[in-house]
Chain A
Amino acid sequence: MDLQPDLLTATLGIVVIRLDDDLTVTEVHGEIDDLAPGHDIRETMPVLYGLEEALAGPDVDIAMPLIQTGRNNDEPVSLHIRRDPETGGLWLFRRDVSEESAIHRQLVQNHNSLSLAQAELVKARDAAREADRTKTAFLANVSHELRTPLHVIIGGASILSKTGERRPDPSEVVEYATDIHESGILLLQLVDDLIDLSRSETGDLTLYEESCDLCTIVAGIVSLCRDLPEARGTRIDSDIPDERVGLTGDARRLKQVLLNLISNALKAVNGLAEAKVTVTVDPDGPRLIVADNGAGMTAEDLAIARQPFGQPRAAVRAKGAGLGLAIVHRLVALHGGDLVIETAPNEGLTAIVTFDPARARPAS
């Protein structure tokens, strides 16, 4: 190798360093801080640690085009190490590549920033598409749930309005009037649920908080549910502490949570078995547990049931738009609580509402 280190240094600004096989510096051509003959090159250029084996070979030719060095990684250099075939010595060529690296940096920075931004845009687009699909499905479900009772009302009213020979007899009048009344209540319930759901989505569902007693709430709602027509044949038990279980919350909304959970349990057991409501006070906070020994459901069906209008495929098709559980979930969250559902096919379902212990307080 006809190497002229001083010429390379003078014309191209390349620092040329000659090394022993143990990586000790023997010659330095050009200016470089903290390096002189006798030094271990790795102390100044730690990039060479780990390369000892590769540098021990007979045909060393290692190029590292862009290494950031210096205390703040702000001194871009290219390194090239070759073995002189004639003398067997190692030569290291160090070149300042500040200018090239500045251009390279700009290109890489722009490319990476654009790619990351593009990935975010794709995510946002997919989320918007999903939201649009959900909205369309939601509207279709609302339309469907509105049409059924409306058809009953319109059809019933039409029959009741007939005169003369086509006028319904008194027993039919009662039947049609009852259907119209029940459908009206169903519609009102649906509209109320939709308003609750909408307000919870927009953050406008406000709690009117007060000091409540969970035991009183449970006792009242369980008593009410026992009188419901759909509870016929189903035993509804309750297990509540003798002492009051105080909770800061919205009593009306807590009753709604419990009513929805018991209502779901009644649909699940379908008048054939039993449901039980329990109140406990655990270190994690007050708990409200509603369990049934009905058909239960798969994890997949449970995920569907948690969604607004979700109707699990395997579940018994019952009255209701499938909004109850979604509303319960939101109301519990508004109370700083957590809703956990444990279920499996043919093993019933247990809904466990755990309230934030900070909300527990002596009931007044």
Chain B
Amino acid sequence: MKTYKIVVLGDFGVGKTSLIRRYVLDEFSEAYRATIGVHIYKHLDSLEGDDLEVSLVVWDIEGAPLPGEQTRRYIVGASGAVIVGDLTRDDPFPAMWQAADMFEEALPGRPLCLALNKSDIASVKSPETVKRMARRYDCSVFETSARTGDAVNTMFRALARSILSLGL
């Protein structure tokens, strides 16, 4: 079975690690512990309805408002990306645009999805921007909560389906 690399990108403190740990380990911690460098998670998942198994290696990449040169190196070979923003922030989108632009520039045509995280405590303040981003990157948007698990598995599985459908 082929294993696909997925990178999770976004500003620090937006919940990238929490989303991954919810997906892979089904756990959540309130404590903030910064990710340094890259954390690697290997996960075997079943895609419901498709009767398919998919092997993923999820890269949890150190967060930054502007993705740096090291992040560009880390995304090499990725089949897809999750771009994470924090709904509790006044404007979570600039960092999301930056990350999505960088991914698309480095790996054109590879699927990505947008995770608007912490949906259990905040809601989307700028739906127009979300629509614009979804159109710009031709991607799905998920309002996720790592705390409750809302839309987390759905999002990773949707991304996995997109990767498989492209035959990557």
B90 within 8 A of A: yes
- On chain B, the residues within 8 Å of A53 by CB distance are 77
How far, in whole Å, are A92 and B59 apart by their CA atoms in the complex?
A: 20
Of A57-65, A137-145, A163-171, A227-235, the stretch lying at the interface with chain B is A57-65
Of A11-19, A113-121, A264-272, the stretch lying at the interface with chain B is A113-121
Interface string of B48-62 (1 = CB under 8 A from A): 000000000101001
- Tell me the residues in window 113-149 of chain A with beta carbons closer than 8 Å to chain B beta carbons: 113, 115-116, 119, 123
Query: Which among A42, A62, A64, A116 is the interface contact of B38 at CB below 8 angstroms?
Result: A64
- Tell me the residues in window 55-93 of chain A with beta carbons closer than 8 Å to chain B beta carbons: 62-69, 73, 76
Known contacts A50-B4, A63-B73, A67-B37; decide if A116 and B32 are in contact (CB<8 Å).
yes
> Number of A residues whose C-beta is below 8 Å from B?
30
- On chain A, the residues within 8 Å of B70 by CB distance are 65
- Tell me the residues in window 100-152 of chain B with beta carbons closer than 8 Å to chain A beta carbons: none
B36 A50 Cβ-Cβ under 8 A? no
Query: Which among B37, B74, B79 is the interface contact of A101 at CB below 8 angstroms?
Result: B37
Known contacts A47-B57, A50-B78; decide if A101 and B36 are in contact (CB<8 Å).
yes
User: Least Cβ distance of B4 to chain A in Å?
Assistant: 7
Query: Which among B12, B32, B39 is the interface contact of A68 at CB below 8 angstroms?
Result: B39
B72 within 8 A of A: no
- On chain A, the residues within 8 Å of B38 by CB distance are 47, 64, 66-68
B164 within 8 A of A: no
How far, in whole Å, are A50 and B4 apart by their CA atoms in the complex?
A: 6
A46 within 8 A of B: yes
User: Least Cβ distance of B121 to chain A in Å?
Assistant: 14
A108 within 8 A of B: yes
B40 A104 Cβ-Cβ under 8 A? no
Known contacts A47-B40, A76-B37, A105-B36; decide if A64 and B12 are in contact (CB<8 Å).
no
A112 B57 Cβ-Cβ under 8 A? no
| B residues neighboring A (CB under 8 Å) | 3-5, 12-13, 32-42, 57, 59, 62-63, 70, 73-74, 76-79, 89-90
Interface contacts beyond A46-B3, A66-B37, A112-B63: sample of 12 additional A-B pairs, CB < 8 Å, sorted by A: A49-B5, A50-B5, A54-B77, A68-B35, A73-B39, A73-B41, A76-B37, A105-B36, A108-B34, A109-B34, A112-B12, A123-B90
Of the A-B pairs whose beta carbons lie under 8 Å apart in the complex, a sample of 8, sorted by A's number, is A46-B42, A47-B40, A53-B77, A54-B76, A66-B37, A76-B36, A116-B13, A123-B90
